[in-house]
């Protein structure tokens, strides 16, 4: 701005050039740092070398793998605002990462007869609201499936607890618990909105780098019962007719013509997306063909919004459920 206002100021132009060099250097160092970490961090972790001390009084993963007893014990420990042992945290993330590496970026979700799928939007580190969802909707089980549509971490104070619980359920029910990548499952957002700092504080930089690598493997969208397209943000990013700059200040918003054309072309009935706070937890738009669901009530402890989730039956029937926030602390 100084250079624009005083283009003949040589000192200002010199300092601008120095700033540009610093920015380029930081971006270069960041790029090579994570390129190296992504290539080696998962392979560098040897679980056999990590000793669980006798003094550790939390839940333990059995040699045969995770079970519901461990998950329930982990929830109880998180309620006490205690950590699980780093060995088990690594074990959960590595198991889920390996599973996602073998999956496509677009996942088909079929609901078997007499089963239910619950679709949730952003939870953003609000651990106690996540537990409340499981209280209200019912816990994940062999017949009750879940799909969390991105933005699991950042902003809230319990992102580690949220992501470890979601990953644990994914490991426990690999074919009945689904996770979509959101815009906050990225390094830049984690650095700015809290997950990086929280992970390094509660565990280590190595754990954070492993999460970064794992986030890179998450699927980008799901198709439920061959009729519902579930994606975190929305449809496409080209600035064509029917699209305009988003009111949020970043990205694009898309209109009913875009939704209708996409659904017709792909023989689908509805788009379900998240990404935006809604006063009542959800909003139905575009002639009933585009639904936004947001599952972090009283977002950032100040918005006063309600949360919502969507139940889908094996017959494809859709119902909406709204809930209030609960205190984000065990104290």
Q: Quickly list DSSP for 200-249.
A: HHHS-HHHHHHHHHHHTTS-SEEEETTTEEEESS-S-----TTEEE-TTS
- Residue 135 has φ and ψ, to the nearest 5°, of -70, -45
Q: Which of 85, 184, 222, 275 is catalytic?
A: 184
Q: CB–CB of 106/223 below 8 Å? A: yes
Taking alpha carbons only, the member of 183, 269, 177 closest to residue 226 is: 269
Q: 286 an active-site residue?
A: no
- For residue 228, the cross-strand partners are 224, 270
Query: How far is residue 226's CA from residue 161's CA, in Å, rounded to a whole number?
Result: 32
Helix (H, G, I), strand (E, B) or coil at 158: coil
Helix, strand, coil content of the chain in percent (nearest 5): 40, 20, 40
Name residues whose C-beta falls within 8 Å of residue 157's C-beta, 6 or more positions apart in sequence. 125, 198, 328
Report residue 33 as tokens: 């740092």
Q: CB–CB of 258/236 below 8 Å? A: yes
Report residue 197 as tokens: 């700092």
Q: At what angle do helices 86-101 and 159-172 cross, to 10 degrees?
A: 60
Task: Kindly list the catalytic residues.
Answer: 184
């Amino acid at each position: 701005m100084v250079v624009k206002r005083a283009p003949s100021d040589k000192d200002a132009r010199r300092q601008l050039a120095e700033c540009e060099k610093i920015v380029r250097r930081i971006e270069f160092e960041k790029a090579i740092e994570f390129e190296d970490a992504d290539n080696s961090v998962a392979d560098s972790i040897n679980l056999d070398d990590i000793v669980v001390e006798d003094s550790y009084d939390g839940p333990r993963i059995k040699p045969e793998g995770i079970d519901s007893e461990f998950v329930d014990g982990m929830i109880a420990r998180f309620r006490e605002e205690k950590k699980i042992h780093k060995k088990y945290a690594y074990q959960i993330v590595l198991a889920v990462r390996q599973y996602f590496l073998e999956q496509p970026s677009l996942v088909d979700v079929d609901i078997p007869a007499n089963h239910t799928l619950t679709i949730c939007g952003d939870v953003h580190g609000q651990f106690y609201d996540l537990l409340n969802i499981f209280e209200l909707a019912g816990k994940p089980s062999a017949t009750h499936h879940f799909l969390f549509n991105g933005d699991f971490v950042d902003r809230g104070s319990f992102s580690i607890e949220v992501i470890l619980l979601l990953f644990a359920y994914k490991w426990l029910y690999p074919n009945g618990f689904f996770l979509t990548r959101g815009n906050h499952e990225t390094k830049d957002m984690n650095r700015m909105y809290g997950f990086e700092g929280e992970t390094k504080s509660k565990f280590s930089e190595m754990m954070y780098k492993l999460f970064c690598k794992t986030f890179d493997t998450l699927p980008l969208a799901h198709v439920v019962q061959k009729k519902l397209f579930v994606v975190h943000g929305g449809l496409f990013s080209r600035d064509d007719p029917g699209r305009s700059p988003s009111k949020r200040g970043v990205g694009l918003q898309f209109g009913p013509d875009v939704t209708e054309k996409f659904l017709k072309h792909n023989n689908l009935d509805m788009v379900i997306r998240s990404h935006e706070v809604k006063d009542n937890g959800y909003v139905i738009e575009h002639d009933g063909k585009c639904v936004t669901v947001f599952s972090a009530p009283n977002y950032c402890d100040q918005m006063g919004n309600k949360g919502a989730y969507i139940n889908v039956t094996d017959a494809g029937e859709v119902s909406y459920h709204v809930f209030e926030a609960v205190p984000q602390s065990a104290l």
